[in-house]
Amino acid sequence: MTKNDKEQENLSNWKKSFEKETKKSDAEDFYFSTDEEIDIKPLYTKEDLNNLSFVEPNSLPGSSPFTRGPKASMYTNRPWTIRQYAGFSTAEESNTFYKKNLESGQKGLSVAFDLPTHRGYDSDDELVKGDVGKAGVAIDTVEDMKILFKDIPLDQMSVSMTMNGAVLPILASFIVAGEEQHVGRELLSGTIQNDILKEFMVRNTYIYPPEPSMKIVADIIEFTSREMPKFNSISISGYHMQEAGADNVLELAYTLADGIEYVRAALSKGLDIDEFAPRLSFFFAIGTDFFMEIAKLRAARTLWSKIMKDFGAKKEKSLILRTHCQTSGVSLTEKDPYNNIVRTSYEALSAILGGTQSLHTNSFDEAIALPTDESARIARNTQLILQNETGVTKTVDPLAGSFFIEKLTDEISKKSWDLIEEIESLGGMTKAVKAGIPKLKIEESATKKQAKVDSGDRVVVGVNKFKNPKEPKIDVRVIDNDKVREDQINKINKVKSIRDENLVNESLLKLTNAAKENKNLLEFTIEAMKHRATVGEASKALEEVFGRHFATSLSVSGVYGKHFDKNEDFKNVSKKIDSFGKKHGRRPRVLVVKMGQDGHDRGAKIVATSFADLGFDVDMGPLFQTPKDVAKDAIENDVHAIGVSTLAAGHKTLIPELIDNLKNIDPKSKIIVFVGGIIPEQDYEFLYNNNISAIFGPGSNIIESAEKVIELIIKKNN
């Protein structure tokens, strides 16, 4: 008997055993289809490695196409960098937090800025008073940046900054802060995210329209290539796409398509591809699909190597995809939150087995509030345990050669490549983004995922199955928004009182003229920040030329409802909604909104489309509205209810303002207000005392929430 005959006999025997154990006549009955529509078989053999399209099973780490890792030695020589993303309140508080983490084993800094900073507003702007210091650190001037890195040697510490909208004044402030710490720009190391395309797709912390925003990206790549040899000019991010609901194929394809567009932008500056390509980096989310996430990172390196070869890159370093990863925020649950420690741990392991270069592990309480010192310590120690106690650093790419992993890597590569070619056929990602195509596909994916959870097709432990009858009480970090804003305003006023106004105005005028004349904007922004212009002033100087971008809200329909064709609960809620419509001559109307500068609109979009599928008449408010704007729209459009989505901790400021504005405009208004999102339970009483009718935390079932809302509307309108 030949070796092949023996293998066929063994496979035949396995099939017989499988059928006997499962009492099924065909193993294909056990195929599982993923969110990415990849069929997972119950058994993989070496035959699955025949005719692979992208994966070369015999490739080695550190060699093109880098499927097995960007370096030959990987973690056996040096483990991945522990880079915990953090920032809150004032620069002083964040600085203290950073130094504690560095003393406890963290190897690099990753800075989270608050939403006003992202959107190019100063803390004293009335538009942002509910957001200052809530979801990141407030930075208004170089003085704040200097405080942020006080006693942290910038010539020794790698600093990653998640910034896209106000990327020019923030990077300029970092450069000036370094110089005033006697660290020249040529010695600064780290990464600025500078990935504006994904902002137009999902995150929404943009300032200017797509074309001038792409110019800013190219300016930064050009400047850093010339003057900052240790600094990475862009981190091309898929993270926020997955957080917004993208499956792994969408995340991978659109991230690499963004990368292609940024390479073109840099080439348009006359740069040689091998001059800047080695300092492009990537940023991926790591969700709960353990093996798919591993395959995604391996596929990312494989495809990027091909892409860069197609661009004509010649240096090996230019072909390497380097990535930072962060465990999923959207997989964290408010219910039974200690389960999140387990979720984060295996997500982290997935990133490690996939070959990430650095990693952030989320804290277990982030579905409730900003992490406490204790929860952040657990998150950091998760990585230390994985590095020191599991043996994962002892060998390179330990899953290579797995029939399943290699086949899965090839499958996700093929599907992603098809999407990349689709984007290219549209003229590239900038044009696709303007047409709204990626955004709609991601929203459709998000709605499908929510429907699977609500219908029970996907189990989330502690949420829709194996519920904890006694929810634990969790201590949460509380930010005094009013105090932070007051402190920031005082600091702004102090800076303005001692700066030379003539020099500031002159430098801001130069910046505006540079935008008109198509010059490199980072050089002129550095000059303005050096003279102590504020982030808001620098942003407005460019806004005079570029204008502000306002997105058109598009939404999917029918995606949620088709998962519930035979669901009795869905039908019962729809009947209540229909009954109300017949009695009152019109369907119950709901306005779904975000307020303040929080651009995370996944939850709002899912509520809007699912409520519409149930039968509500739904209006979706534009992003970045003030409470006054929302109240005015609600009354003018005669809605029955307002649904507020909040993720950025501004609820204690913005929601009472909304209620007050409703009363001021129409004291007899019957509009009910309900809230969904990240709200600590300790704030519920405050909101109910401010006339909120219902609160739905993360993981709330949409159908149950809709039933509560229609019952409240019926009661109010009887």
682 pLDDT higher than 90:
no
Please tell me the distance from the alpha carbon of residue 507 to that of residue 505, in angstroms, as a whole number: 5
Residue 359: Cβ within 10 Å count: 25
pLDDT of residue 2: 81
pLDDT of residue 554: 67
Is the Cβ–Cβ distance between 238 and 325 less than 8 Å? Answer: no
104 pLDDT higher than 80:
no
Percent of the chain scored above 70 by pLDDT?
Answer: 98
Contacts of 658 (CB under 8 A, 6+ apart): 595, 627, 630, 631, 642, 644, 673
pLDDT of residue 351: 98
Residue appearing with tokens 């070959």: 355
In the numeric block, which tokens belong to residue 537?
Answer: 């002033």
Beta bridge partners of 109: 159
pLDDT of residue 434: 87
- Provide the 8-state DSSP code for 202: I
- Check 85, 338, 346, 684 and give the catalytic one: 85
3-class SS of residue 360: strand
- Check 600, 605, 651, 652 and give the catalytic one: 600
pLDDT of residue 85: 67
85 is known as an active-site residue: yes
1 pLDDT higher than 80:
no
240 is known as an active-site residue: yes
Length of the chain: 718
Percent of the chain scored above 90 by pLDDT?
Answer: 71
- Check 594, 605, 640, 652 and give the catalytic one: 594
- Work out the pLDDT band at 134, boundaries 50, 70, 90: confident
- Check 239, 254, 262, 560 and give the catalytic one: 239
pLDDT of residue 106: 66
Q: Position 56: which residue type?
A: E
pLDDT of residue 648: 61
- Work out the pLDDT band at 100, boundaries 50, 70, 90: confident
In the numeric block, which tokens belong to residue 6?
Answer: 């023996």
What confidence tens digit (pLDDT) does each residue in 21-74 have?
A: 888 777 777 888 999 999 999 999 999 999 999 999 889 999 999 999 999 999
pLDDT of residue 230: 92
600 is known as an active-site residue: yes
Please tell me the distance from the alpha carbon of residue 414 to that of residue 303, in angstroms, as a whole number: 9
Is the Cβ–Cβ distance between 529 and 173 less than 8 Å? Answer: yes
- Provide the 8-state DSSP code for 203: I
- Check 71, 134, 215, 240 and give the catalytic one: 240
Q: Position 666: which residue type?
A: D
Section 320-326 average pLDDT: 95
- Work out the pLDDT band at 500, boundaries 50, 70, 90: very high
| Helices and strands in the chain, H and E counts | 26, 17
Between helices 290-310 and 403-425, what is the axis angle to 10°?
Answer: 50
Section 406-421 average pLDDT: 98
668 pLDDT higher than 90:
no
Section 121-150 average pLDDT: 91
- Average pLDDT value for the chain: 92
Please tell me the distance from the alpha carbon of residue 330 to that of residue 478, in angstroms, as a whole number: 21
Distances (CA, A) of 511 to 168, 175, 195, 540, 548: 11, 17, 22, 10, 16
Please tell me the distance from the alpha carbon of residue 303 to that of residue 284, in angstroms, as a whole number: 15
Contacts of 139 (CB under 8 A, 6+ apart): 91, 113, 114, 117, 145, 148, 170, 173, 535
pTM: 0.90
- Check 35, 598, 601, 613 and give the catalytic one: 598
316 pLDDT higher than 90:
yes
Is the Cβ–Cβ distance between 504 and 537 less than 8 Å? Answer: yes
Please tell me the distance from the alpha carbon of residue 293 to that of residue 239, in angstroms, as a whole number: 12
pLDDT of residue 649: 67
Picking from 362, 373, 363, the residue whose alpha carbon sits closest to that of residue 96 is 373
Section 636-651 average pLDDT: 86
332 pLDDT higher than 70:
yes
Rg over CA atoms, the chain: 26
What confidence tens digit (pLDDT) does each residue in 232-272 have?
A: 999 999 999 999 999 999 999 999 999 999 999 999 999 99
- Work out the pLDDT band at 486, boundaries 50, 70, 90: very high
594 is known as an active-site residue: yes
